[in-house]
Structure 1
Amino acid sequence: MRNRRDAKLAMPKLILPAIQINMNGGKFSELEENGIRYLKLPFNYFR
């Protein structure tokens, strides 16, 4: 029952940032030259 329901749901909005942080062992990326940390996500990878 749950598999049928889940198959119809869209991908969660914050799944890619969460995966990126988790893959880095919970560590955030290094600071950029302007002193800000950024999450880098693929553009138009998922449609």
Structure 2
Amino acid sequence: RAHPLGRAAVRLGRVVPDHPGVVSLATRVGGRRIVPLPIGADLPRIC
């Protein structure tokens, strides 16, 4: 926030151990939604 471009920065989330590897968001009514991976996102190599 010390930099002029970061003055309006806010915390958007936090890391919790509940669901590793999954991004979810809290809704205004108290529910949770899973945020899907973007289409075309690279998957980790399994070899």
Between structures 1 and 2, the one with greater helix share: 1
TM-score, normalised to structure 1, is: 0.27
CA radius of gyration, larger in: 2
Between structures 1 and 2, the one with greater strand share: 2
TM-score, normalised to structure 2, is: 0.27
